[in-house]
Amino acid sequence: MKYVDEFRDGAVARGLAAAIAAELQPDRRYSFMEFCGGHTHAIARYGVAELLPPQVRMIHGPGCPVCVLPIGRIDQAIQMALDQGAIVATYGDTMRVPASQSLSLMKAKARGADIRMVYSAADALKLARQNPQREVVFFAIGFETTTPPTALALRQAAREDLPNFSVLCCHVLTPSAITHILESAEVRQYGTVPIDGFVGPAHVSIIIGSGPYEHFAEEYRKPVVIAGFEPLDVMQAVLMLVRQVNQGRAVVENEFTRAVTREGNLAAQAAVAEVFELRERFEWRGLGEVPYSALKIRPAYARFDAELRFGLGYTPVPDHKKCECGAILRGVKRPTDCTLFGTVCTPENPMGSCMVSSEGACAAHYSYGRFRDIPVVSVPA
Amino acid sequence: MCLALPARVLALLSADEAVVELGGVKKTVSMALTPEATVGDYVIVHVGHAIGLLDALEAERTLALFAEMAAAGDAAAAAAQAQAAAPGGGA
Ligand code: SF4
């Protein structure tokens, strides 16, 4: 595929790995957090971890919207479908995330809940037009990439004055999550989770631009390199981060210039600003309540706000006792530190959210990295 | 969830819809977020919407940079190997 395959060339990847190795200072270690699940996926799938010198460690961050969605939010969606008889439309990725009472959206559907998988927010609107006698709720999740399409759908619903459409808004913001991680005890007490720099979001930055990351670099003295999701992009970003660390610099650099500008997509930002405003606090799985880290629907669009329309309250629900997703999302633990990994918890039967999406750390390691854990034993001749 | 792919704009259907080609597959997507895109452009498509344009010139520049970095890396690796292989080298 044009502009995809060229960024996966194996020979160039090995050359980049050698370039990284040549620049490392022999006496230090480098730890970089890749914020996005898209990077986690690429690192596992294309063996980037194996190509990187052992001195460089990649820490998986909380950048998968499916993984950070707390149980209490999925419960709300299930409640609307099961108790209020609404049609709940959602992206496929959220269907298998475990919720309370051993339910998930998929299992609720088996119990008779009307839950429909949609490909876009516009499809949810279509459902509302086709079912005028039913309430249709779009369970909207995602970072800054899926938010503008939800904003367009809300604008369109208002234009058509659709009486039976609403949105359960669970859109979250990337920059506040990164700040939260940098403020966390684990990172501040350097040593539990050392972070020397960030591989910054690719597609999120298409929308918001690279500008919003500039203050981390300045305030927290951490380099950020915005990088595309192909393996060569990630390797180039690591090289750029290594150079910044070596030179004692901490600025925002953009590896993904083919799609990201400093300002981002202004049309998308305008649509989002018209429909949404900041939420004071929002619970993230693994990070707890993060102030100003999510969006809610503006009063002008209140009639399309499912939380108001159905009088939904939010109840936080703790994760499965043994699931380590929370610690994994903060970069404190690795998937293999979880006793359920690969035995009780698999992509077919996930116990936690990190095993659901292919961009989750557990699923990525299960699908592509598992065999690295098995020591190679040579059979004596 | 956040994965999005570059697709080429084949035809503009209306003010905010277009047919794009994604790895041989044709799809109709919303162009409301990329009003400046025209036929022949590459756009990044996510959940049925073009969310941004792909700059072909910048893509070429990035690939050229990779090639340059990789060549420098290969040369450094070869030099290190030669040094290690040389008598008394690496000691
Ligand atoms: S392996 Fe499963 S249970 Fe363990 S942390 Fe990952 S998702 Fe949670």
Which atom number of ligand 1 is nearest to the Cα of residue A355?
Answer: 7
- Residue A245 CA to ligand 1 centre (angstroms): 33
Using the Cβ of B90 and the Cβ atoms of chain A, whether some distance falls under 8 Å is answered with no
- % of chain A residues with pLDDT over 90: 69
Q: Find which of A157-171, A208-222, B77-91 is predicted with most confidence, using mean pLDDT.
A: A157-171
Instruction: Using most ligand atoms within 8 A of CB, pick from A96, A324, A353 the residue to mutate for ligand 1.
Output: A324
Contact A64 B49 (CB under 8 A): no
Residue A182's CB: how many other CB atoms inside 10 A?
A: 17
Phi and psi torsions of A305, nearest 5°: -90, 110
Residue A181 confidence (pLDDT): 81
Contact A258 B69 (CB under 8 A): no
pLDDT tens sequence across A91-144: 998 999 989 998 999 999 999 999 999 999 999 999 999 999 999 999 999 999
- Smallest CA-to-CA distance from A108 within A139, A146, A141 is with A139
Whether the predicted pLDDT of A375 surpasses 60? no
A338: its two tokens: 């979880």
- Smallest CA-to-CA distance from A347 within A72, A44, A63, A73 is with A44
Whether the predicted pLDDT of B91 surpasses 50? no
Tokens 């399309």 belong to A304
Rounded to the nearest angstrom, the minimum Cα separation between A235 and chain B is: 9
Which range is least confidently modeled, A117-121, A167-171, A288-292, A306-310? A288-292
For residues B2 and A144, what is the distance between their CA atoms, to the nearest angstrom?
9
- Residue A353 CA to ligand 1 centre (angstroms): 7
Of residues A191 and A314, more confidence is placed in: A314
Beta strands in B4-48 (DSSP E): 5-14, 17-22, 25-30, 42-46
Question: In A, which residues are within 8 Å of B62 by CB distance?
Answer: 233, 236, 255, 257-258
A341: its two tokens: 């990994």
Using the Cβ of B23 and the Cβ atoms of chain A, whether some distance falls under 8 Å is answered with yes
Task: Please tell me which of the candidates A36, A122, A239 has its beta carbon nearest to residue B48.
Answer: A122
pLDDT tens sequence across B3-48: 788 999 999 998 799 999 988 899 999 999 999 999 999 999 999 9
Task: Please tell me which of the candidates B35, B54, B70 has its beta carbon nearest to residue A12.
Answer: B70
- Smallest CA-to-CA distance from B36 within A265, A10, A26, A296 is with A265
Give yes or no for residue A361 CB within 6 A of ligand 1.
Answer: no
Instruction: Give nearest CA residue, ligand 1 atom 3.
Output: A323
Segment A192-200 shows an average pLDDT of 89
Which atom number of ligand 1 is nearest to the Cα of residue A350?
Answer: 2
- Residue A269 CA to ligand 1 centre (angstroms): 35
Of residues A187 and A203, more confidence is placed in: A203
**Triad A48, B47, A77: Cα angle to 5°:** 105
Question: In B, which residues are within 8 Å of A143 by CB distance?
Answer: 2
Segment B78-82 shows an average pLDDT of 86
Whether the predicted pLDDT of A366 surpasses 50? yes
How confident is residue B1, by pLDDT bands cut at 50, 70 and 90? Answer: low
DSSP A302: G
pLDDT tens sequence across A320-344: 889 998 888 888 889 999 999 999 9
pTM score, whole prediction: 0.91
How confident is residue A379, by pLDDT bands cut at 50, 70 and 90? Answer: low
Contact B66 A18 (CB under 8 A): no
- Smallest CA-to-CA distance from A36 within A61, A57, A8, A56 is with A61
CB A133 within 8 A of CB A161: no
How confident is residue A319, by pLDDT bands cut at 50, 70 and 90? Answer: confident
Instruction: Give nearest CA residue, ligand 1 atom 7.
Output: A352
DSSP A354: G
For all residues of chain A together, what is the average pLDDT? 91
Whether the predicted pLDDT of A171 surpasses 70? yes
Find, in chain B, the residue whose alpha carbon is nearest to that of A13. Answer: B70
Whether the predicted pLDDT of A380 surpasses 60? no
Give yes or no for residue A338 CB within 6 A of ligand 1.
Answer: yes
pLDDT tens sequence across A273-284: 999 999 999 999
A178: its two tokens: 């990164």
- Residue A20 CA to ligand 1 centre (angstroms): 32
CB-based contacts of B12-16 (< 8 A; 24+ apart in sequence): B12/B38, B12/B39
CB A69 within 8 A of CB A141: yes
Phi and psi torsions of B89, nearest 5°: -75, 155
